[in-house]
Amino acid sequence: MTLTASYERCRRLHARYGRSYYLATRLLPQWKRRHVHALYGFARYADEIVDSFTMTADRSRALDTLTARVEAGLAGAKPDDPVLPAFLHTVHSFGIGHDDIGAFLASMRADLSVTRYATYDDLLGYMAGSAAAIGTMMLPVLEPAPGCEEAAREPARQLGLAFQLTNFLRDIGEDFARGRVYLPLEDLDKFGVRAEDLGAHRCRTTLRDLLAFEAGRARDHYRAAAGGISLLVASSRPCVRAAFCLYGGILDEIERCDFEVLADRVRVPRRRKAAVFARHLLASAEASRAERRVRVELP
């Protein structure tokens, strides 16, 4: 597996499984895109191991193998894997923190055995690795503006949390089919929702009330993340603004259909996606041109 082929494998994973974010990455300068694809591709690769319907006891062994290959690659070994060459090249190129990688893999391992979370704090502990760590891994590629490196870290975490909580609300039926309930059990009790209700064909009123409550939490994370966009270099802002709008659009659609997420998968209409992309396309082109002029003029 050549490095070029590995980056292409990651791009295809991103294009297939992360369509909203993949569309947003087209607003990045071309040289940044493949690194975002590499990070997403790695995350999806690991996620497919723990979410597989076809693997059973072998999932733990497969995750052990992936973890060992990642650790060996971080130590300098040449990876024997279709995704890891691109991922490790991006990690080394941008100095991405190994602690974030470890936290992510630990959350993936939790998915093999943990199927319920008692409180929202417990869920946040899981999401710190599965979502917030992805946000901070992306940050060096997206480039904080000079002097904003530390200030940009928490908004990046918050955006990861917002995205993942949005996905949890959209996918509660699919997750229940895998035996998992990500919404906190104390919240289910508060609203009179049984875990079995998440596997029904239609939402009861109590479940709609619960989802509205959790959507409010997701909105809080989006608000906490919003200020971080201006802390990035100009060429990355259109991409993140578009991703912000597209994932926020999923939440809008969930609310628009009165939280009926069990009958059909909620999607942002293609027309709205195209409008979001077009709205940020000019700013992306202008920022990229300005960045290239500055880089050329540097001694």
Helices 58-74, 30-51: axis angle to 10 degrees equals: 150
Does 282 score more than 90 pLDDT? no
Q: What is the pLDDT of residue 202?
A: 92
Mean pLDDT throughout 223-239?
Answer: 97
Residues 6+ apart with CB under 8 A from 287: 234, 235, 237, 238
Does 286 score more than 70 pLDDT? yes
Q: What is the pLDDT of residue 206?
A: 97
Tens of pLDDT, residues 146-188: 999 999 999 999 999 999 999 999 999 999 998 999 999 999 9
Q: What is the pLDDT of residue 67?
A: 96
Does 296 score more than 70 pLDDT? no
Q: What is the pLDDT of residue 186?
A: 98
Backbone Cα Rg of the chain: 19
DSSP three-state, residue 232: strand
Mean pLDDT throughout 239-266?
Answer: 95
Does 43 score more than 70 pLDDT? yes
Type of residue numbered 3: L
Question: Degrees (nearest 5) of the Cα angle 268, 230, 225?
Answer: 55
Q: List alpha helices for the chain, DSSP H.
A: 3-17, 19-25, 30-51, 58-74, 84-94, 98-110, 120-127, 133-142, 153-170, 172-177, 185-191, 205-226, 237-256, 270-297
Give the separation between CA 94 and CA 91, rounded to whole angstroms.
Answer: 6
Does 56 score more than 80 pLDDT? no
Does 295 score more than 60 pLDDT? no
Q: Do the Cβ atoms of 10 and 37 come closer than 8 Å?
A: yes
DSSP three-state, residue 39: helix
Cα dihedral across residues 42, 48, 49, 50: positive or negative: positive
Does 53 score more than 70 pLDDT? no
For residue 73 the two structure tokens come to 């690659």
Give the separation between CA 167 and CA 155, rounded to whole angstroms.
Answer: 18
Q: What is the pLDDT of residue 54?
A: 55
Type of residue numbered 289: R
| Residues forming beta bridges with residue 144, ordered by sequence position | 232
pTM for this model (two decimals): 0.92
For residue 13 the two structure tokens come to 């994973």
Does 55 score more than 80 pLDDT? no
Give the separation between CA 296 and CA 3, rounded to whole angstroms.
Answer: 27
Mean pLDDT throughout 193-208?
Answer: 95
Higher pLDDT, 296 or 62: 62
DSSP three-state, residue 77: coil
Higher pLDDT, 9 or 282: 9
Phi, psi angle pair for 109, to nearest 5°: -65, -35
Does 298 score more than 90 pLDDT? no
Give the separation between CA 223 and CA 244, rounded to whole angstroms.
Answer: 10
Number of domains in the chain: 1
Mean pLDDT throughout 21-39?
Answer: 95
Which CATH number characterizes residue 133's domain? Answer: 1.10.600.10
Does 111 score more than 90 pLDDT? yes
How many Cβ atoms are within 10 Å of 10's Cβ, its own excluded? 29
Domain interval for residue 123? 3-297
- CB neighbour class for 71 (10 Å; exposed up to 12, middle 13-18, buried from 19): middle
What confidence category does residue 57 fall into, taking pLDDT thresholds of 50, 70 and 90?
A: low
Mean pLDDT throughout 26-51?
Answer: 94
